[in-house]
A and B are shown apart, each in its own frame.
Chain A
Amino acid sequence: MVDELIIKTTNLTKSYGPHVALDDLNLAVKKGATGLLGPNGAGKSTFLKTILGLIQATEGEGTVLGHDIRTEGDAIRARIGYMPEYDALNPDMDAIHQVRYSGELLGMNPTIALARAHESLQYVGLGEERYRKIGTFSTGMKQATKLACALIHDPELIIADEPSNGLDAKAREYMIQTLTTTVKAGGRSVLMASHLMDDVERVCENIVLLHKGKLAAQGAIVDLKAIDREIEIHVWGGATRLAEAMEADGLAVRREGRVMRIGHTDEDTTTRILRCAAQTGAQIRRMHEYEASLEDLFLVIMENLGYEIKTSEDLLGSPALARKVDAPAHMGGGGA
């Protein structure tokens, strides 16, 4: 099941005059939940428009659910559910009629569309609010209505653009839970573009990282996290001596007081740390493998691409940092 590809692109390139928005993109997105990450200007929107068949690629080819993105845009859009980031609802309409209309626009019979609209709104938690005008909805309810519009025809792939954007903690939690249920219980696939790493990590098992139109990384989050594997130790006495000894031994050490994180280079790393501790007489009171978050991974990848970034927010909020990119080959990119 997981090996089935829902999106595949080969040398996909999209240029707007001299500006290359997508540069030789080779992607393989498996069935399941995939996060689409990248700073502003990375090419996420262009990528989404290209795979929806709304704009023509300059070069290369691709398929979505087996349909050619160059010639079968209609067939693709009939089989996917798109949840836009921005408002896409008429504030003067009742939720039930808005969702029903979105089904009719796909070619559903009006009666069936109405029945499915009830089910979809119930599923996203708006069962009791379905006859309310959308203009009176909170941001969370509007996001849920957009999701109901995307789910009305039970699509195989849901493309959710920033689904938890602007939501409070409760609504965000519910949105994440709904997307997770759709993938796990519904057996549907989700391509989720988001700036919120936490949300992506909770819903998705795979990520695709774009930067300046190029593929920076792709694969299972678990596998990619191995890039950033570290061992965390808590030292009592002789921390400085220990840090110096480990650095002299060729280990990468990051230190915050008595807490140090040592890059996991090979299976011998733990032995080397303990040996250094024995030599310097420092006490290691706690030692465990440090599990990186997706945000850590994002930062590491970006640092490897040649940027100095403090947090993902700094990067995502400032396109000026998007200077040059050429993903290292071991991260799935084209190589420097």
Chain B
Amino acid sequence: MTETPPVELGPGEYGAEAPVTGQGRMEAAWGSSEGDEDLSDTQMTQPTSTGHVFEQVYKPWQGELNPRWMRNWAILRHHLLGIFKKGHRPWGMPTRLFILVVFLASLSDAALTLLSGLLGEASIHQLWGVSRDNLYGHVLGFFPRNVLYYPIVAALLVGSVISEDRQHGTSALYFSRPITRFDYVGMKFISVALIQAIVVLLTLTLYYLAEIISLGRGWAWILDTFPLFLAAFLSGFLLIFTYTSIGLALSSVSKGKFFPGIGLLAIVLGTKVLAVLVSTLFDREILYLLSPYDCMAHVGQTIIGTQPTYDQYSWTWSLASLVAMNALALYTLSARVSTMEVTRE
């Protein structure tokens, strides 16, 4: 029997008779030897990657700035889109949810009108269909709309819209830019008013359209009722304007969102309750002139043509009172905004 000459093995190769020690893999994985290796053998031939190192580089910008309307649009967009998506003004989730609930609740008359059209049920339509009283009720009805819906929406919106700029010092962000105080307050006003308009005026329009669509109303009906719709629309505009001006005035004198919100509700509902109490106890109704809601209702009833609640007084008294309230609120708002600081608050 001749001995087989040993086979020459290359590096990393093991003969069949070699004992299984696992050493090769251990060497590769952990380097289990004494640590006296010649490091030049294991040096990497390729350069190591050092990863990304932060380098501060100033990048110039050669673009041109757009004019005033674009800056104003930015403020409007910031507030308006914040209701719908992230990245803009962060309205609180309770505010957004409440607006959604009120929006849907405000469409209850539209939904019932559609239902009456679908079922052909005259009694439902008689109760909820478009009429002088129902158009008034959609905008200026006291309960639930002007107790639970619109004033609370206004209170949630105005609560922090200016006061937060005082609280967080973000007024400096506006006034250190080419933005005038008028533009600042004007755009905030329009933003808040537009969000309320979605709840009040858009739902009113949808209600009117629901009647046309579900009952197949023709031009004659539209011509007949459109002035009523416009009157209700105007009443809604008056409501939104008044709530916004009073609310923003309160927001401008505060640094928090609680006071303006509660203040607005106290003014709207408190004066109404006071007028009712005085009327009930002393049979004197004149105090309704202190209530923004009562004045708006009186003016709204007149222009829509429903039975006025305070028919012993001329509606012009209510209008004058409303004008005075709004003037006082807008004066407070402008005076406070004009004192907002850039360097420190």
Q: Please determine whether A87 and B56 come into contact, CB atoms closer than 8 angstroms.
A: no
**A181-B168 contact in complex given A49-B342, A78-B65, C-beta closer than 8 Å:** no
**0 or 1 for each of B305-345: is its CB under 8 Å from A? (1 = yes):** 00000000000000000000000000000000000001111
Cβ contact within 8 Å between A48 and B71: no
Greatest chain A CB density within 10 A among B56, B59, B74, B176 is at B176
B221 at the interface (CB under 8 A from A): no
| Complex contacts, A106 vs chain B, CB 8 Å | 65, 71, 177-178
The reply to whether the CB of B137 lies closer than 8 angstroms to some CB of chain A is no
Bound: A293/B177 CA distance, A: 36
Q: How far is the CB of A78 from chain B (nearest CB, A)?
A: 5
Shortest distance from the beta carbon of B162 to any chain A beta carbon, whole Å: 13
Question: How many residues from B make CB contacts under 8 Å with A?
Answer: 41
Contact assessment for A186 and B173 in the assembled complex, using a CB-CB cutoff below 8 Å: no
Interface string of A60-100 (1 = CB under 8 A from B): 00000000000001110110001011111111111001001
Q: Report B21-67 residues with CB < 8 Å from chain A CB.
A: 54, 56-63, 65-67
Nearest Cβ on chain A to B290's Cβ, whole angstroms? 36
Contact in complex: B74, A85 (CB < 8 Å): no
Give bound CA distance, A182 to B75, whole Å: 29
A108 to chain B, nearest CB (A): 6
CB distance from B153 to the nearest CB of A (A): 20
Is B174 an interface position by the 8 A CB rule? yes
Q: Taking the complex as formed, is A112 at the interface, i.e. its CB lies under 8 A from any CB of chain B?
A: yes
Interface check B164, CB cutoff 8 A: yes
Instruction: Let me know if B168 and A49 touch, CB within 8 A.
Output: no
B194 to chain A, nearest CB (A): 18
B88 lies within 8 A of A97 (CB): yes
**With an 8 A cutoff between CB atoms, is A116 at the interface?**
yes
CA distance A189 to B343 in the complex (A): 20
In the assembled complex, A138 has its CB within 8 A of some CB on chain B:
no
Contact (A178, B172) CB under 8 Å given A106-B65, A107-B66 = no
Q: Are the CB atoms of B169 and A108 closer together than 8 Å?
A: no
Q: How far is the CA of A193 from the CA of B243 in the complex (A)?
A: 42
How far, in angstroms, from A288 to B61 measured CA to CA in the complex? 47
Q: How far is the CA of A94 from the CA of B78 in the complex (A)?
A: 14
In contact, A54 and B168 (Cβ under 8 angstroms): no
Q: B173's contact among A45, A105, A181, by CB below 8 Å, is which?
A: A105
Q: Tell me if A185 and B343 are in contact (CB < 8 A).
A: no
Quick check: A119 and B59 within 8 Å, CB to CB?
Answer: yes
> Which residues of B are found within 8 Å of A101, using beta-carbon distances?
74, 78, 88, 173
Determine whether the beta carbon of B58 is less than 8 Å from that of A123: yes
CB < 8 Å: which of B54, B66, B168, B345 contacts A91?
A: B168
Cα of A174 to Cα of B54 in the assembled complex, Å: 13
Interchain CB contact under 8 A, B178 and A86: no
Do B59 and A87 touch across chains, with their CB atoms under 8 A apart?
A: no
Identify which of A49, A116, A153 contacts B343 (C-beta below 8 A).
A49
What is the total number of residues of chain A having a CB less than 8 Å from a CB of chain B? 50
Give A86's nearest chain B residue, CB to CB: B169
- Asked, given contacts A105-B173, A119-B59, whether A82 binds B90 with beta carbons under 8 Å apart, the answer is no
A-contacting residues, B117-146, CB 8 Å: none
- Taking a contact as CB atoms under 8 Å apart, the answer to whether B60 and A87 are in contact is no
Alpha-carbon distance between A75 and B172 when the two chains are bound, in angstroms:
17
A104 within 8 A of B: yes
| A:42-58 near B, CB below 8 Å | 45, 48-49, 52, 54
Contact (A92, B343) CB under 8 Å given A75-B178, A105-B75: no
Judge whether B87 and A107 touch: CB under 8 Å: no
A86 touching B78 by the CB < 8 A rule? no
A125 at the interface (CB under 8 A from B): yes
Query: What's the minimum C-beta distance from B180 to chain A, rounded to whole angstroms?
Result: 8
Interchain CA distance A75-B71 in the complex, whole Å: 13
Contact at A123–B57, with CB atoms within 8 Å?
A: yes
Cβ-based interface call for B223 (8 A): no
Minimum CB–CB distance from B264 to chain A (whole Å) comes to 22
What residues of B have a CB within 8 angstroms of the CB of A54 in the complex? 175, 342
**Is A154 at the interface (CB under 8 A from chain B)?**
yes
Judge whether A154 and B56 touch: CB under 8 Å: no
A109 at the interface (CB under 8 A from B): yes
Among all A-B residue pairs, the 10 with the closest Cβ atoms: A186-B58, A104-B74, A82-B176, A154-B61, A74-B178, A107-B65, A107-B66, A92-B90, A88-B172, A45-B343
Residues of B participating in the A interface, judged by any CB pair closer than 8 Å:
54, 56-63, 65-68, 70-71, 74-75, 77-78, 87-90, 164, 168-180, 342-345
